[in-house]
Structure formats: C-alpha cells, structure tokens
Amino acid sequence: MMRWLVIAWAVWLEVIRRKDVYVLLVLLGTLLAVVLSLNVFGLGGTSRYALDVGLLLAWVFGWILAVTVASRQLPDEEERGTVFTLLAKPVTRFDLVMGKYAGSWSVVAAATASFYLLAAGVTAARGGRVDFAALLQAVLLHAVALGVMCGLGLWFSARLHGDAAAALAFVVTAAAFLVVPRAPEFMTRQTGLAAAGLMLLYHLLPHFEVFDMRRRVVHDFGPAAWTDVGLIAAYGFALCACLALLAWTAFRRRRFSRSVP
C-alpha cells in the first residue's frame, strides 16, 4: 500500500508541475465571469444559470483531465525509460498500475472538487442558494465517475500509445455520456442490427448518467437518499475495480521496448 501511495504522490507532483489544473481553474473562473457579466434585463438575483454552467464545465474539465492524466501515466514512464528503474525496485507491475490509478483518480477528483467549490462559491456570492448536502453528494458521485474514466484511460494506455489511448478513452466516454442514456429512446426508431447494437452499447458501456446530480443541485431538489447514493457509488466502485483488473491484466503481459533512451 505504501508503494501505491509513493507512486500516487509522484502522479500528483507531475500534475502540479504541468499546471493543467490551474489553467482549467482560471478558464472556469473566466467563463463564469463572462456568464455572470450578462445583463439579464437589469434583474437581480439570477444565479442558477451560473451554477448550471459552472457544473457543466466542471464535468467537461473533469472529463478532459481524467482521460488525459490517466492515459499518459504508463506510456510516459515507458517513453522516458523510467519504467525500467521503477520495476527494478521492489515494485511490481500491479503496484505500478494501482499507484498510477490511485494518483490520477485522486488528483483529478481533487481538481474537480475545486471546480465545484469555485462554481458554488460564485453562485453563493451572487446571492444564489446552494444546498451543500446535495453538492457534497454530487461531488462524491462525480468523483466515482471520474474513477471510471481514469480506469478506462489507464486500461487503454496499458496496451496503446498515450495519444491513442486518450483518443479511444475520449470516444468511449463520450459515447457513454451521449448515447447510453438515450439508447432506450433511439431504439424506438431502430430495428434489427442497429437496435441490437444499441442494446449492446447500453449494457456494455458505463452509465455515467447515474452519477450526474447537476439537476438536483441546480434546481434545488435537496439531497438524494444516502442509500441510493451508496448504491450508485457501489456500482461505480465495481466498475473501477473491474477496470483496474483489466489494466493490470493488460500491463502484466506488456513487453517494453528497449530502444528508449
């Protein structure tokens, strides 16, 4: 476990050094400022739309971060040649995969939590009401969803080049976001192979819609039942465990190129 933590801390340091999170945080702040600069007929007290836009951007930025950070971890180690040094130490491939997974998941979740805090803070400063219990649930479930995205990125990168893994992870997660929740609706207009394909996608891809509590937070419905939040989180953790296992299975058979410097 200590070895996982050391590797995870290295991931944190790398992400902090790259400054991706700061850039996204500044971008989010700027976009929120632009949104809030809208003069809505001189009416005061309109803040829900800013929270809505802020949470949407938190999902988009979290998604980008999760896929890019997780997909580059293993290929970068190989490209730099540091994977040989790492594996020469008493670090197993399982430790490396789990450490990278823990590091990328936790750093992305922390960055996303800061996006939520910024969006909620701006809304509260504007006089809007934010239910912090619902917001906490939203952040927790979003963090679990980010774990699934990181797991996909890591799994693909265990066998593919970093860019290819990221591209594939973006495609799969985008399909899971956009197609899976609407598959039952699309299937009413499809027959035969197309309908079967949609049904396959529906059951094969992760259901990110169950982690999305934005509507509950933005429209002030209050927190969900904790048992349901627990069930959704358990589904997410099961997916994460499955993806970690797949990533390790792919990585343990990986043959590294010796031509790296």
Partner 1 sequence: MNPILKRPGAAALALWIAAFSLSCRIGGPPRAGVAPDVSPSVMGVLLAGSRLTLGDHFYEVADQYFHRGVPHKSEKFFGGNWFQRMAAEAAPSAHLHLQGVDVREMMPWLLLSMRANPGRAESYLVTAFWLDHGAGRPDAALEVLRQGQCEVPFNYEIQLERGRLLLRLGRRGPAAAAFDAGLAFWPGAGDPGGIGARHDKAALLLYRALLHEGAGEREEAIAALERILALFPEREHLRERIALLRSGGAPALAAPALWKQLLAADARAREENTCPQAEARDHDHEDE
Interacting residues with partner 1 (CB under 8 A): 38, 40-43, 45-46, 48-49, 141, 181, 183-185, 187-188, 195, 207, 209-216, 218-219, 221, 224-225, 228, 231-232, 235
Number of Cβ within 10 Å of residue 4's Cβ equals 19
The residue among 23 and 234 lying less far from partner 1, judged by its C-beta, is: 234
Residues 6+ apart with CB under 8 A from 164: 156
Name the nearest CA neighbour of 172 among 144, 141, 151, 143.
151
Distance CA 195, CA 30 (A): 43
- Please report how close the Cβ of residue 162 comes to partner 1 at its closest, in angstroms: 25
The residue among 141 and 168 lying less far from partner 1, judged by its C-beta, is: 141
The residue among 179 and 187 lying less far from partner 1, judged by its C-beta, is: 187
The residue among 185 and 192 lying less far from partner 1, judged by its C-beta, is: 185
- Please report how close the Cβ of residue 28 comes to partner 1 at its closest, in angstroms: 18
Distance CA 27, CA 24 (A): 5
The residue among 227 and 257 lying less far from partner 1, judged by its C-beta, is: 227
What spatial distance separates the first Cα and last Cα of the chain, rounded to whole Å? 30
- Please report how close the Cβ of residue 246 comes to partner 1 at its closest, in angstroms: 21
DSSP-based three-state secondary structure for 161: coil
The residue among 100 and 207 lying less far from partner 1, judged by its C-beta, is: 207
- Please report how close the Cβ of residue 254 comes to partner 1 at its closest, in angstroms: 33
Which tokens go with 29?
């702040």
Distance CA 76, CA 204 (A): 29
Distance CA 41, CA 55 (A): 24
- Please report how close the Cβ of residue 67 comes to partner 1 at its closest, in angstroms: 22
Question: Do 216 and 134 form a contact (C-beta atoms < 8 A)?
Answer: yes
- Please report how close the Cβ of residue 225 comes to partner 1 at its closest, in angstroms: 7
